[in-house]
Copies of this chain bind each other. A is one copy, B any other.
Amino acid sequence: MALAVLHRESDADVSRPRDGFVKAYRGMLLARLLDEKFATLYRAGKIQGGVFLGRGQEALSVSAGLALRPGDVFAPLIRDAAGRLAFGESVLDAARTFLGSALGPMRGRDGNIHRGRPREGLLPMISHLGAMISVVNGALLAHRFRKLPATVGLACLGEGATSTGAFHEAMNQAGVEKLPLVVIVANNQYAYSTPTVRQFACRSLLDRAAGYGFAGHAVEANDLAACLQVVGQAVATARGGGGPQFVLANLLRLCGHGEHDDAHYIDPGLKSSPLGRDCLKLAEEHLLRQQWAAAAELETWRGETVKLIEEVIAQVQREPAPDPYHEDWSALSSRNLLEGQA
């Protein structure tokens, strides 16, 4: 588990507020720095395809990943580097996918934020927004059929994705089946350039929860402690048989839609509002204020994290790219059914 590397203090006990918070903070930090590394590599022309950052959403995302356990099912979206790492994805998987290493989990067939390991409960997103939720539902149904002990499924998405038919059908399906599903909607105020007023007409997306038979929770998502509490509680409730849970997170995207986008359209008023405060900074302030860590310690953690990332990137940059002549070009697992067409 990626975070384990960073959070190895011998006496750590994440059920203690300080330890849990520190672990989450270090997860956020890892995600932030990893994201920034990819952004740098992108600007240097070393990454193919889009780079989408979770800047400003790490507190929420890490809380999701931390609340899950092995055996659970997680469907992250484009801003969930933190959640992925916390759920157990390795920095190596991330780096290999972004840098197009043939050794990555997608072996160059798919890239970047599309990575996943379905066998380990980490679903590889398709781009079509909303489409992953019903897949999580299906996995949970399977767990029910197979009588697996209380697993949880968790799907993340942005507020824009709530406008898709796929979202609706899957939410309703989870409600009807009373699945242990947690859906987290990060309302970061924009879907690409589109503000929420062009996306939905309710006062709050929380108004949707009851219509699907979900319990609803809201959280101001640049507050790590609040995220840990609210998301943790939602996951625990789902796990305990409390039925599907909907978490509406209020925050602001602190970056472009992707690294190609300067986000000039973001309302400056939002940026300077409380919503615009950076969750990572706030978490650092909290650590210092609570005296859970000293400034020097923060520096050390940052240094360790940078080093870890640099090592992984250096390793991956030496790895081979996929070779089309070794690619088997097979979209079917049943090799005998392949056609030899040109």
Q: A residues bordering B, Cβ < 8 Å?
A: 163-169, 172, 175-176, 178, 197-203, 205, 207-208, 210-213
Contacts and interface: CB of A to CB of B under 8 A. Distances in A.
A264 B55 CA distance: 57
A202 B176 contact: no
Contacts of A205: 211
Given A165-B165, A165-B169, 9 more contacts: A163-B169, A165-B166, A165-B168, A167-B168, A172-B200, A175-B202, A178-B201, A202-B213, A208-B211
A119 to B, nearest CB: 29
A22 B36 CA distance: 72
A163 B176 CA distance: 11
B200 A210 contact: no
A166 B168 CA distance: 9
29 contacts: A163-B169, A163-B172, A164-B165, A164-B169, A165-B165, A165-B167, A165-B168, A165-B169, A167-B168, A168-B168, A172-B200, A172-B201, A175-B200, A175-B202, A176-B197, A176-B198, A176-B199, A176-B200, A178-B201, A201-B212, A201-B213, A202-B210, A202-B212, A202-B213, A205-B211, A207-B211, A208-B208, A208-B211, A211-B211
A211 B162 CA distance: 11
A210 B207 contact: yes
Contacts of A168: 165, 167-169
Contacts of A203: 210
A167 B165 CA distance: 8
Nearest to A173: B163
Contacts of A176: 197-201
A178 B201 CA distance: 8
A117 B132 CA distance: 39
A176 B166 CA distance: 19
A127 B8 CA distance: 59
A86 B186 CA distance: 46
A77 B175 CA distance: 26
Q: Most B CB atoms within 10 A — which of A167, A175, A210?
A: A210
B163 A175 contact: no
A139 to B, nearest CB: 19
Contacts of A210: 202-203, 207
Contacts of A197: 176
A165 B130 CA distance: 11
Contacts of A165: 164-169
Nearest to A166: B165
Nearest to A178: B201
Contacts of A208: 208, 211
